[in-house]
Structure 1
């Protein structure tokens, strides 16, 4: 792609704006490629995972969860943020079990997405899981969600109709569609490529 040095901004200083229980917001002063300075306000995020759980009958493990910022119940794939020092696969295993009660025999790392590049450094790792066995959910205090299963066709229809607008789930549907068509393949070793491993 060539050099991108003519596009890069150089951080000069940082001011902390908010350090809450979940959100950490900062304002960076940066030097632009032109030499002038500007500010960038954004959210620091520890990273997260999303799990596309594949049941033996081909159906997918999905959730319905109320999301306060939008004041709506959203249909999503199971997901959650990394705890301090936690690896991506360990987080995926934990989140799948805690939110849905399922454990998986096999795991495949698919890729990454950056859902809000204009105002957050969040990266979400996408994992596929199969060989699922049901167990007891271990929801966090104050966490309420419904777990259900859907066919890939139902998922695609909801994405097309706008019933699903969650960006990570839309990206997961894209991955699933390409895997099912044979256009994209998965490595079921349960490891991440060295280039992306945290």
Structure 2
């Protein structure tokens, strides 16, 4: 059997959509809310969907003047592992993503940036969360003093892109936003993609 190509698929998405019938909150945390909805399936049957609502987040590909990428190493409790990641953080209520990116970069690393560009929005856990992450490119970095939150502990360091690719390929880096950003930066440096300049 030969699989269809994308062009052979039906137009639109109505034959795939699920419509909410009813639902409510299961649990409300500090910033995550667990919900359970009853939905109508495309064939008219009903099903239960449980998911987390998340305020959204940002991540920053911060590139030093020598070309190295600014990174963080911090302990992630849910997976009981210290992870290498690019700087990131969640949006405060009614906070614009770019403002959040600038705030998080300075708070976590002490750096500010003279040039900002938008890379793309990703949805890291589409099966059970509304979370999105807007990824930005920060260039022209200026060092300063970090201002970590009381409950925040992390190491800040820099590494060349080639090292990051090695860490992704070996499984040392497993964080999805960092993995996507590493491959994007590699394509950017080879002239295959471009960010959208902001300022």
TM-based fold match above 0.5? yes
- Tell me the SS of whatever aligns to 2:196: coil
Residue 158 of structure 2 corresponds to which residue in structure 1?
Answer: 149
Tell me by how many angstroms 1:187 deviates.
2.9
The answer (yes or no) to whether the contact 2:62–2:69 under 8 Å persists in 1 is yes
Tell me by how many angstroms 1:188 deviates.
2.6
Q: 1: CA distance between counterparts of 2:65 and 2:15?
A: 50
Query: What whole-Å deviation, never above 9, does each CA across 1:131-190 have from its counterpart, x for those lacking one?
Result: 001111111111000000000000000000000000110011111111011000123334
What TM-score, normalized to structure 1?
0.94
| Count of matched residue pairs | 190
Tell me by how many angstroms 1:95 deviates.
0.5
Unaligned runs of 5+ in 2: 1-6
Question: Over aligned residues, Cα RMSD in angstroms?
Answer: 0.9
What TM-score, normalized to structure 2?
0.93
Unaligned runs of 5+ in 1: 191-198
Structure 1 residues 163-178: aligned runs within 5 Å: 163-178=172-187
Residue 4 of structure 2 corresponds to which residue in structure 1?
Answer: none
1:41 matched to 2:55: no
Query: What whole-Å deviation, never above 9, does each CA across 1:18-57 have from its counterpart, x for those lacking one?
Result: 1011321000111001111111001000110000000000
Of structures 1 and 2, the larger Rg is shown by 2
